[in-house]
Structure 1
């Protein structure tokens, strides 16, 4: 049975309503919504820094920065918002049994976006990025244990590690603080090792580690080599090599979350050129290209929006989840 889920972010500022929508539209694999409209303490970066107990951080005009000391008020606010969101999810999933997904920003996207106490990105400092990855791995252990305590009926728990900046890190495309230069690329073995710490922490805590990036140029083979049990991708940006790697993943028993529903409303209205049958045919064509049978792939294949829905209207966000569910039903 093919399942439908979301990538993570939704529009709006009401966590209770967001949870109700997700549980209602994606009942077979609900996820913890992220609501970045509430501000940077609810963004993917802020939420991840809220999990990192060993490293203090606060907000500066340029964004998040490590403090070198205890947690600042902004970091404590990020932790509080995450706890509130988990409270809402726990209440909505009382007596629930089934699958569940939560998300966390990965170490390399954090290293490319968070600054050191002295300025410039963590990415510029070998020791700082190692410390960040280790602290994030420990935060993931605590987070997974908390989710399992809150929703004990979630037999299959997926942890989605978001790495939209990973391709830029490897290709030396991350700008320096001045904006006039670019940070040096990081060697693939280091990238794989430190991402692997976070994925291993998830696996050892009882969650399936998946990695998400809807950016072109993400090395899918590296993600699997680091320990990813599943890959979240946008079908529209995949290269020929990406298709091969995804086929190999499904053949090996790993998962693929295929982003096929637009993350913002297409021109012409909610149903313009986007109906469940057309989207289903697109997925079937992709599987046929890889020589895979949808019945054989089963729950290793997930149907999702192409990326997060934070930029969508509330109406389209709900419709996008509905389309994912309908496509998954047709494939099943």
Structure 2
């Protein structure tokens, strides 16, 4: 069973964090996201850094569509470029498997704003432009990574923390007095599918979709061609259990967030995670061997709010839990 991190970590030393992730998760190295470096390095800053031909600016705490990129937008792109250089220097021709996590189109449509203040989600044309720009930009980035580091196998993680709220119509408007209309699941799936198609064309063979909120749109993910669904198992509802079992039985990867991350520095032991995994496998009613072959153990969500020492211990325990799972379930 593979093990990996979700992405966000404490601290501001990218090279050090990358080395630590390589140590903890040698079979699937997660590229760190370090939001402590500022808004240019968080999930939205990294997302806007991949947009093509769509200038943005940072106005107070909000990213907005603009006439020309401002200093923050240029800094976001420069930070991403430095991180890519550091990845290349660190790997130095190694045949590693590396996971890149970047913001997906639904979450970006919530967090990127129009000039009038409302979210891009509110405007059909703007939402389509952002989704298309994101798909093109991430495909270009994927092609560059493959060109610069041909020995690396790249796994792409589409981060969509806001997706269930977008689909359910729970996103508040700028005033907070109303909610945006639910986004049709077929439209949302079209945006996701366009991103997946662009990544496939750029040579990415494994594409994951991550969300640690309840309400995973299983059918949308299948229709969009996603390979791995990465979830917080604590958010699974009764209706999700059959969908998760079907997902595994279709030989798709299932990222199992078994280490709760909501309480700062509350490290789950490998034995605790193994117990949770065994209970989940029994509940799903799937072949244990299938769970180890297709399962990916992870923390439930990012660890950016934790101390570096506790985050490191948690990652080590996740990796150890995957080893124990192989021993317990593969026989």
How far apart, in 1, do the equivalents of 2:183 and 2:260 lie?
A: 32
How far apart, in 2, do the equivalents of 1:318 and 1:86 lie?
A: 22
Name which of structure 1's ranges 238-247 and 2-11 shifts more when overlaid on structure 2: 238-247
How far apart, in 2, do the equivalents of 1:242 and 1:325 lie?
A: 25
Deviation at 1:81, TM superposition (A): 0.7
Secondary structure, counterpart of 2:115 in structure 1: coil
Structure 1 residues 60 and 266 mapped into 2: Cα distance closer, same or farther (>3 Å)?
A: closer
1:320 aligns with 2:314: yes
Deviation at 1:256, TM superposition (A): 0.5
Residue in 2 aligned with 1:172? 169
CA contact (8 A) 1:264 1:311 kept: no
CA contact (8 A) 1:158 1:210 kept: yes
Deviation at 1:321, TM superposition (A): 0.8
Residue in 2 aligned with 1:29? 28
How far apart, in 1, do the equivalents of 2:163 and 2:262 lie?
A: 23
CA-to-aligned-CA distance 1:194-213 (integer Å, 9 cap, x gap): 11111111122222221100
Secondary structure, counterpart of 1:260 in structure 2: strand
How far apart, in 1, do the equivalents of 2:61 and 2:305 lie?
A: 22
Deviation at 1:302, TM superposition (A): 0.5
CA-to-aligned-CA distance 1:51-102 (integer Å, 9 cap, x gap): 00211001002410010x3322211100111111122222221232132100
| TM-score between both structures, scaled by the size of structure 1 | 0.93
How far apart, in 2, do the equivalents of 1:26 and 1:190 lie?
A: 35
Point out where structure 2 has 5 or more consecutive residues left out of the alignment.
327-331
CA contact (8 A) 2:264 2:306 kept: no
How far apart, in 1, do the equivalents of 2:272 and 2:245 lie?
A: 22
Structure 1 residues 264 and 179 mapped into 2: Cα distance closer, same or farther (>3 Å)?
A: closer
Residue in 2 aligned with 1:6? 5
Secondary structure, counterpart of 2:155 in structure 1: strand
How far apart, in 1, do the equivalents of 2:151 and 2:190 lie?
A: 32
CA-to-aligned-CA distance 1:123-165 (integer Å, 9 cap, x gap): 110000011111111011111112222332223x211101111
Point out where structure 1 has 5 or more consecutive residues left out of the alignment.
none
Deviation at 1:265, TM superposition (A): 5.5
CA contact (8 A) 1:29 1:101 kept: yes
Secondary structure, counterpart of 1:288 in structure 2: helix
Residue in 2 aligned with 1:194? 191
Deviation at 1:120, TM superposition (A): 0.8
Deviation at 1:264, TM superposition (A): 5.3
Residue in 2 aligned with 1:223? 221
How far apart, in 2, do the equivalents of 1:94 and 1:293 lie?
A: 39
Residue in 1 aligned with 2:78? 80
Secondary structure, counterpart of 1:177 in structure 2: coil
Deviation at 1:299, TM superposition (A): 4.2
Structure 1 residues 294 and 87 mapped into 2: Cα distance closer, same or farther (>3 Å)?
A: farther
Deviation at 1:219, TM superposition (A): 1.8
Residue in 1 aligned with 2:139? 141
How far apart, in 2, do the equivalents of 1:55 and 1:124 lie?
A: 17
CA contact (8 A) 2:57 2:64 kept: yes
Residue in 1 aligned with 2:329? none
Residue in 2 aligned with 1:253? 251
CA contact (8 A) 2:249 2:290 kept: no
Residue in 2 aligned with 1:182? 179
1:293 aligns with 2:287: yes
Structure 1 residues 20 and 265 mapped into 2: Cα distance closer, same or farther (>3 Å)?
A: farther
How far apart, in 2, do the equivalents of 1:96 and 1:265 lie?
A: 36
Deviation at 1:266, TM superposition (A): 6.4
| TM-score between both structures, scaled by the size of structure 2 | 0.94
